[in-house]
Amino acid sequence: MADVNTIKKEFTPVTYDPQYILMVNELKKHFPIKSGMVARTIGHVKAVDGVTFNLRRGTTMGLVGESGCGKTTTGRTILRLSGEKTGGQVLFNGKEVYDLSNKEMRAMRTKMQIIFQDPFSSLSPRLPVGEIIGEAVREHGLAAKGEFDDYIDRIMDHCGLQPFHKDRYPHEFSGGQRQRICIARALALNPEFVVCDEPVSALDVSIQAQIINLLKDLQEKYKLTYLFISHDLSVVEHISDTVGVMYLGNLVEYGDTKDIFNNPLHPYTKALFSAIPIPDPDAKMNRIVLEGSIPSPANPPSGCKFHTRCANCMAKCKEVAPEQKEIEPGHYVVCHLYDDV
């Protein structure tokens, strides 16, 4: 465990800035690979390897990247859902999430919620919908006993569900309605911050639009802050105020949605955006096709992790890992191409 201790010291702590609801600084999450009879640790999968961003109150940040790049782990690590972090800081409203005691954490949980990807497996098939939504409300004592039913009805109404749905079971609902149940479950606790982990990727296009509109409406109504994880770039562009692009556990580019989409700087972002199919048969395709697939996060390439697939690879990229650099105000990129700018 020696390497873990050294990693812990490798960042400069940030101080709390009240305009940000969430400050993530050099967050790291490594999973041990165990092997052999005595389950010796033979290496680490570096799922999240130094992610830094700040999230302003009431805004949405999109997190995009290929599967396996650590988007979901980032979301879960921020919520302290996957054990201890390996390094870095997560400040939620100025408090380090990982320093809270169990009791404090329990109270904090109502403030930060998650909507999972697959509405078909994230709902208990044995509980009626009213109980799925209300369980945590009762547990945290958010509504008085007499008002409990009204409270649930109101939440369900806001999420587009009817009161008579309360006694039904999840299998009686379609995909879109199940996702509404998941949203209602998260919102019932009156959170400030919601991690949406690919909430629309399992849904049809027309249902997708309904859910995205619902999420936007609820954001206005409850002044929510979202971390929106998705691999669908068009959805992310539509819903987000800022976007972070992840590659192999690192945030390679981060900035306002407009800046990122109009002026992508990192070669990976450029390739990713050029791969989006445009629904116009006359559109000109200027596609940058990335060769090969994403390298193993257990044994990432040296230097810049993207250098094995990068079209602009230089000698320096193979040895020295680039630093995060602010190119325009609020637009950060991690690439040696911009060292001199």
| Nearest to 300, CA basis, from 4, 77, 30 | 30
* Nearest distance in Å: CB 146, another protein: 26
| Single residue of 8, 14, 66, 219 touching another protein by CB under 8 A | 66
d(CA 93, CA 151): 26
* Nearest distance in Å: CB 10, another protein: 30
| Single residue of 121, 124, 213, 263 touching another protein by CB under 8 A | 213
Q: Residue 263 carries which side chain, given as an amino acid letter?
A: N
Element housing 48 (H / E): strand 40-56
* Binding string, residues 132-161; x marks residues near another protein by CB under 8 A: ------------------------------
* Nearest distance in Å: CB 262, another protein: 8
d(CA 185, CA 207): 19
**Token pair of 109, please?**
């949980």
Nearer to another protein, 174 or 302 (CB): 174
Biggest alpha carbon–alpha carbon distance for the chain: 69
**Token pair of 283, please?**
């559109």
Q: Does position 205 bind another protein by CB under 8 A?
A: yes
| Single residue of 63, 112, 133, 271 touching another protein by CB under 8 A | 271
Q: Does position 233 bind another protein by CB under 8 A?
A: yes
Q: Does position 310 bind another protein by CB under 8 A?
A: no
Distances (CA, A) of 176 to 160, 197, 304: 11, 15, 40
Distances (CA, A) of 288 to 151, 260, 267, 307, 310: 51, 17, 9, 15, 10
| Count of CB atoms situated within 10 Å of the CB of 322 | 22
Q: What phi and psi, each to the nearest 5 degrees, are found at residue 2?
A: -60, -40
Q: Does position 272 bind another protein by CB under 8 A?
A: yes
Q: Does position 280 bind another protein by CB under 8 A?
A: yes
Contact indicator for 318, 300 with CB cutoff of 8 Å: no
| Single residue of 18, 36, 146, 277 touching another protein by CB under 8 A | 277
Q: What phi and psi, each to the nearest 5 degrees, are found at residue 285?
A: -95, 120
* Nearest distance in Å: CB 278, another protein: 6
d(CA 135, CA 127): 10
Q: In this chain, which stretch among 29-37, 122-130, 211-219, 323-331 interacts with another protein, using CB under 8 A?
A: 211-219
| Single residue of 11, 31, 222, 273 touching another protein by CB under 8 A | 273
Q: In this chain, which stretch among 94-102, 185-193, 276-284, 327-335 interacts with another protein, using CB under 8 A?
A: 276-284
Residues that bind another protein (CB under 8 A): 66-67, 174, 204-206, 208-210, 212-213, 216, 231, 233-235, 237-238, 261, 271-283, 285, 287, 289-290, 293
